[in-house]
Amino acid sequence: MSNNVVRVGRRLFLALALGSLAGGALAQDLTKLKFTLDWRFEGPSAPFLMAKAKGYFAAEGLDVTIDTGAGSAGAVTRVATGAYEMGFADFNALVEYDANNPGSRLQAVYMLYNYTPASVVTLKKSGIAKPADLVGKTLAAPVFDAGRKAFPAFAKSNKIDPASVKWQSVDPAIRETLLARGEVDGITGFSFTSVLNMEARGVKESDLNVMLFNDYGVELYGNAIIASPKLIAEKPKAVQGFLRAFNKALKEAIANPDDAATYVKKQDALVDQALETRRLKMALNSVVLTPETKANGLGSVTDERLQRSLAETVAAYNLKSAPDGKAIFNPAFLPAKADRTVK
């Protein structure tokens, strides 16, 4: 073997070794961040999973762990206790937590669902087609269900007495089953969850009447990305980087939801990809791509509507006080409006 070949080999080995060391150093330099979803890995979680799988978080210097959740209240608590730095949860659950825990300083930093997906779902054959038809009827939902908790706002907007409706407390797993069997008059739940769950139980979407709260006068915001006060204070660039990466993935999901849903399947091989693709599209079309979002950009709120939304939450949840809108929603970390613009 010639000396030239040996020298070239040594240089190549040294380059590879240095590259490996640099890669290890870069990996060690990434800021670790634990993120909790509100629920299982389903279609709406696709942008989060995409941002991780495609390296968008890593490009922002973040090593993000994404875990499933068991409801928005639990997600808020996880972030409040410091077990997670960021999470995805119903904004109204955050408002409730703030009212019950003054000084928590938890903040929403990106409003993904411009409206709550909460809805009342009934069978068309029952004859219940409008809010007034619910008087004297029985609705089923878990006690922590967002639609059930916000139902007084729905009732007020449609001039019916909330007390005129009876409630049956059920586990989420059997809510749609009871409706499909006709054992209750209706249910509350996120529209894109309940409709698809009803289909899985043999009830076609065309046989359902879905009353989305926002179609009936309710101005509540929906799910938002939330961050702990410690992360905001100590690592604001991590919050900014997370939102840039997520926003990039979200826009890609909007442009190509079929591709985005594949990342849910990659995360959990047991999911039905076609079903989760539909769920993602339903979520995007019903509560993400709204006129307000198209006017002001993804992730944002308007001050006027935020105040009305907070007032609705306080009244519906029977809270003792209303948090300051500017204190509970912080737009400072949002990407530039040009990067959040959608058509």
Q: How does pLDDT run across 307-321, given as a tens digit for each residue? A: 999 999 999 999 998
15: confidence class by pLDDT, cuts 50, 70, 90: very low
**Does the structure show a pLDDT above 50 at 266?**
yes
102: confidence class by pLDDT, cuts 50, 70, 90: confident
Which pTM value belongs to this model? Answer: 0.90
| pLDDT attached to residue 205 | 96
Q: From 46, 41, 39, select the one nearest 261 (Cα to Cα).
A: 46
> pLDDT tens-digit profile of 154-189?
999 999 999 999 999 999 999 999 999 999 999 999
237: confidence class by pLDDT, cuts 50, 70, 90: very high
50: its two tokens: 């995409």
105: its two tokens: 């300083």
The DSSP code for 131 is: G
> pLDDT tens-digit profile of 128-143?
999 999 999 999 999 9
Average pLDDT, the chain: 92
| pLDDT attached to residue 27 | 52
Domains of the chain, start order: 30-115+221-340 (3.40.190.10), 118-216 (3.40.190.10)
Under 8 Å between Cβ of 55 and 64 = no
6: confidence class by pLDDT, cuts 50, 70, 90: very low
Q: From 240, 251, 258, select the one nearest 59 (Cα to Cα).
A: 240
| pLDDT attached to residue 234 | 98
Phi first, then psi: what are they for 110, rounded to 5°?
Answer: -155, 115
> pLDDT tens-digit profile of 23-49?
443 555 999 999 999 999 999 999 999
C-alpha 335/C-alpha 325 separation (Å) is 20
Percent of the chain whose pLDDT exceeds 70: 92
